[in-house]
């Protein structure tokens, strides 16, 4: 999970403050020293880390904090506010002109994930009611055009290409095509390049001059840490980028890029890639990210994910069955599939306040859901809807069919039985009122 190391270190530093009834300047200084070290270990730019802790210290030694009954909470509040400000303060939206199309130029180093994230952004825009057009301007990398076409097909977004034609001509033709066919968003996928590649960098400058894009989004890999900030600075000096798409924010990244990019370049992180699927792209919310770093969770993003990725009708049907105590393995399989749409369980749990700390030492294995699904899929339709039919011989068949043991099948049957028993007890205690209107999977 992103920021895990930083969150742990900050949590340990603030824990010591909680034991103090009052704070003095020495206490604040000691904690800020630990915060600075934690930021530096997270690969945050040295100047950014120093300025950040100086600002927090200046606010934390104020009379309002020192005289507060809960000084630790006041310090954490200040850190939360300063972290939010460090990453931009508020989310930054795509700038749209008065008359479409909006032209978005995507650039970045080779292998940063530009083509994939062009598709992710196109899908996000499509889901918001726009009509995006992907444009293939990477004429150098073998199969780059084909890759964009595959990504576009998966996203259900058209791709404009002219083979190995000059990129500037492709861009001009694509914009004319968008105007003719009613595409209000044009996403231009350019060739990946090295910072020292003057020819390709000049090509980018020429494209910018000719088409005057409304957004120039730099795609950078969060896993590269401080180097991502250096890349952003170089591209910004050359092109005056308008924002950043940070990829692999779901990985074991230390967080330095996310915390340093805005401070070093003055340009906001607009989107964050959080997984390998096309749906795994989020609007970057600095306030929510600050909450995650401080272990406060991110309930708003979790709710938005649930609303966009879960089948509301299916969830309501399950809620009805829960109230009637008629849950079966078809429902369990459906709920497993719903939960998997939300992404890795560890990422989901990290957004629930306090849960990441409670389950810190628990080995969360997403493959367990696949094992349960394999057992259910080894059942006949009749067995799924009528679990009472499952006898020892059927259990052996299911175990063999799923590559599991009979004990695993028994455990799954026991789980369903316990769930039904619990629902029966709740229903007897007014559970119907409690579950009325539920729209979330159990």
269-273/281-283 β-pairing:
antiparallel
Does a structural domain hold residue 66?
A: yes
Selected residue with higher pLDDT from 238 and 255 = 238
Alpha carbons 212 and 104: distance in angstroms, whole number: 10
Nearest to 387 by CA among 423, 425, 416, 408: 416
Does a structural domain hold residue 93?
A: no
Alpha carbons 266 and 32: distance in angstroms, whole number: 24
215-221/243-247 β-pairing:
parallel
Number of domains in the chain: 3
Q: The domain that contains 398 carries what CATH number?
A: 1.10.260.30
Answer yes or no: do 254 and 180 share one domain: yes
Answer yes or no: do 146 and 237 share one domain: yes
> Which of 303, 328, 352 is the last residue in one of the domains?
303
Average pLDDT score, the chain: 80
Residue 440 has a pLDDT of: 36
Residue 343 has a pLDDT of: 67
DSSP line for 134-197: EEEE--SSTTHHHHHHHHHHHHT--EE--TTS-HHHHHHHHHHHHHHHT--EEEEEEPPB-TT-
Alpha carbons 128 and 254: distance in angstroms, whole number: 31
Answer yes or no: do 178 and 282 share one domain: yes
What is the per-residue burial (b if ≥16 Cβ within 10 Å, else e) of 56-93?
bbebbbeeebbebeebbebbbbbbbbbbbbbbbeebbe
> Which of 31, 60, 86 is the last residue in one of the domains?
86
- Each residue's pLDDT tens digit, 90-145: 778 888 888 889 999 999 888 888 999 999 999 999 999 999 999 999 988 888 99
Does a structural domain hold residue 27?
A: yes
Average pLDDT of the segment spanning 378-398: 92
Does a structural domain hold residue 97?
A: no
Query: What share of the chain has pLDDT > 90, as a percent?
Result: 29
Q: Is the peptide bond before 243 cis (omega within 30 degrees of 0)?
A: no
Residue 435 has a pLDDT of: 42
Answer yes or no: do 298 and 412 share one domain: no
Answer yes or no: do 284 and 320 share one domain: no
- Each residue's pLDDT tens digit, 340-382: 776 666 666 666 555 555 545 555 667 888 888 899 999 999 9
Q: Are 161 and 170 in contact (CB under 8 A)?
A: yes
Answer yes or no: do 326 and 267 share one domain: no
Answer yes or no: do 120 and 245 share one domain: yes
132-137/159-160 β-pairing:
parallel
> What is the SS3 assignment for 282?
strand
Answer yes or no: do 273 and 145 share one domain: yes
Residue 41 has a pLDDT of: 83
CB half-sphere exposure, 303, CA atoms < 13 A: 6
DSSP 109: B
Answer yes or no: do 144 and 281 share one domain: yes
When pLDDT is cut at 50, 70 and 90, the band that residue 150 belongs to is very high
Q: The domain that contains 50 carries what CATH number?
A: 1.20.120.140
Q: Which of 174-188, 240-254, 349-363 has the highest mean pLDDT?
A: 174-188
Does a structural domain hold residue 273?
A: yes
Domain with 266 in it: 102-303
When pLDDT is cut at 50, 70 and 90, the band that residue 307 belongs to is low
Answer yes or no: do 216 and 327 share one domain: no
**Model-wide pTM > 0.95:** no
* 157 C-beta neighbours (distance < 10 Å), count: 25
Alpha carbons 313 and 239: distance in angstroms, whole number: 47
Does a structural domain hold residue 146?
A: yes
Instruction: Compute the CA torsion angle 190, 195, 196, 198 (nearest 10 deg).
Output: 40
Question: Is the pLDDT confidence value at 12 over 50?
Answer: yes
Q: Position of tokens 């039919």?
A: 389
Alpha carbons 164 and 161: distance in angstroms, whole number: 9
- Each residue's pLDDT tens digit, 55-102: 888 887 765 555 555 667 777 888 888 888 888 887 788 888 888 899
Quote the Cα angle for 175-176-179, to 5°.
90
Question: Is the pLDDT confidence value at 297 over 70?
Answer: no
Answer yes or no: do 255 and 361 share one domain: no
Among 40-49, 166-175, 300-309, 404-413, the minimum mean pLDDT is found in 300-309
DSSP 242: -
Alpha carbons 193 and 426: distance in angstroms, whole number: 60
Among 102-116, 248-262, 407-421, the minimum mean pLDDT is found in 248-262
Does a structural domain hold residue 283?
A: yes
> Which of 303, 322, 340 is the last residue in one of the domains?
303
Q: The domain that contains 288 carries what CATH number?
A: 3.40.50.300
Does a structural domain hold residue 441?
A: no
φ and ψ at 102, to 5 degrees?
A: -85, 125
Answer yes or no: do 23 and 46 share one domain: yes
Residue 27 has a pLDDT of: 80
């Amino acid at each position: 999970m992103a920021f895990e190391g930083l969150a742990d270190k900050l949590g340990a530093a603030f824990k010591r403050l909680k034991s103090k009834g009052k704070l003095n300047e020495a206490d604040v200084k000691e904690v800020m020293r630990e915060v600075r070290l934690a930021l530096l270990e997270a690969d945050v730019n040295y100047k950014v880390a120093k300025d950040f802790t100086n600002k927090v210290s200046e606010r934390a030694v104020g009379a309002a904090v020192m005289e507060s009954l809960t000084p630790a909470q006041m310090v954490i509040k200040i850190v939360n506010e300063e972290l939010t400000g460090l990453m931009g303060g508020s989310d930054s939206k795509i700038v749209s002109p008065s008359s479409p199309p909006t032209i978005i130029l995507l650039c970045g180093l080779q292998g940063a994930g530009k083509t994939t994230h062009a598709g992710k952004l196109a899908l996000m825009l499509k889901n918001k009611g726009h009509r995006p057009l992907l444009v293939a301007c990477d004429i150098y990398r073998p199969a780059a055009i084909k890759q964009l076409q595959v990504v576009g097909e998966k996203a259900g977004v058209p791709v404009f290409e002219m083979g190995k034609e000059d990129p500037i001509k492709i861009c001009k033709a694509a914009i004319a095509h968008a105007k003719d066919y009613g595409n209000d968003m044009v996403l231009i996928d350019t060739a990946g390049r090295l910072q020292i590649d003057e020819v390709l960098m000049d090509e980018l400058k020429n494209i910018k001059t000719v088409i005057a894009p409304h957004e120039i989004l730099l795609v950078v890999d969060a896993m590269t840490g401080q180097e991502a900030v250096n890349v952003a600075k170089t591209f910004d000096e050359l092109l005056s980028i308008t924002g950043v798409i940070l990829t692999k924010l779901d990985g074991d990244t230390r967080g330095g890029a996310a915390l340093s990019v805005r401070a070093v370049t003055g340009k906001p992180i607009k989107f964050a890639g959080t997984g390998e699927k096309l749906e795994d792209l989020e609007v970057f919310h600095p306030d929510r990210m600050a909450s995650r770093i401080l272990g406060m969770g991110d309930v708003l993003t979790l709710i938005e994910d649930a609303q966009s990725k879960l089948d509301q009708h299916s969830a309501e049907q399950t809620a009805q069955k829960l109230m009637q105590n008629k849950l079966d393995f078809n429902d369990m399989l459906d709920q497993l599939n719903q939960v998997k749409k939300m992404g890795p369980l560890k990422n989901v749990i990290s957004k629930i306040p306090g849960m990441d700390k409670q389950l810190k030492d628990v080995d969360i294995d997403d493959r367990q859901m696949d094992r349960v699904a394999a057992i259910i899929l080894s059942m006949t339709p009749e067995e799924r809807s009528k679990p009472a039919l499952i006898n020892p011989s059927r259990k052996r068949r299911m175990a063999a069919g799923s590559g599991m043991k009979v004990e695993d099948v028994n455990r799954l049957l026991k789980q369903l039985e316990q769930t039904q028993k619990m629902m029966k007890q709740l229903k007897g205690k007014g559970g119907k009122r409690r579950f009325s209107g539920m729209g979330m999977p159990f």
